[in-house]
Structure 1
Amino acid sequence: MCDKEAEINNHLFLHCKTAVNLWHMFLCILGVSWVMPETSLDMLKHWEGMSRRRRSIEDGWKYIPACIWWTLWRERNERSHDGQASSIQKIKMKSLSLLYFWCKQDMVGR
């Protein structure tokens, strides 16, 4: 994805430049200070712990890791298989749109 390090789970989904940009965007929107854990498993454990403390108005909070990871995985595949790379702005918009769609679907299902 970034051609900087081996494409392993922790790098691709947490520490790659594109991943860092996405995480930073969502955390800034939520007004959260966060130090990214080393591994994806640790990140999910900490995220779940923080999710319990978030207000109900921020229900979309629970979807953010999956949203980021799905966006990154699709971008990685487009780059690897189709030779197409989106700008960071377009990747951010895709991720925000996906989160909006998932939250909207969740509200309809209630």
Structure 2
Amino acid sequence: MPRNIAVVLACWNRDGNQSGHKERWKIVLACIWWTIWSERNQRCFENKSIPFQIIKMNCLVTFYFWCIHSIPKDPGDITLFLDSLRGR
């Protein structure tokens, strides 16, 4: 388990460089951090929170949008997109 952010980034970049989708691989961490930061701000400043499953879906939708530049019309679009990144 990584002990700090620098180790996470080093591992992430190493593994991502082996991927056929290097640019999209780099976006994943930003999507995770953006989603968590956004949820943190809602909890701290707006006194709102959402269930963890919705936070995960928000992260996937953000990743899809940042890569494809469109909003998914249905959850199956996200699944197909993620499968295409794994080479299925």
TM-score (norm 1): 0.58
Shift of 1:60: 2.3
Q: Which runs of 5+ in 1 are unaligned?
A: 1-35, 106-110
Q: 2:17 aligns with which of 52, 55, 58?
A: 52
Shift of 1:46: 1.0
RMSD: 1.4
Q: Which runs of 5+ in 2 are unaligned?
A: 70-88
Please give the residue correspondences for 1:62-73 in structure 2 after superposition, counting only pairs within 5 Å: 62-73=26-37
User: Is the aligned partner of 1:91 residue 2:46?
Assistant: no
Shift of 1:86: 0.7
Q: Percent identity over the alignment?
A: 38
The count of residues paired between Structure 1 and Structure 2 equals 69
- Amino acid of the residue matched to residue 53 of structure 1? Q
Instruction: Give CA-to-partner distance per residue, 1:23-75, whole Å, 9 cap, x none.
Output: xxxxxxxxxxxxx411011101111111110123x752211111000000000
TM-score (norm 2): 0.72
Structure 2: how far apart are the matches of 1:92 and 1:77?
Answer: 16
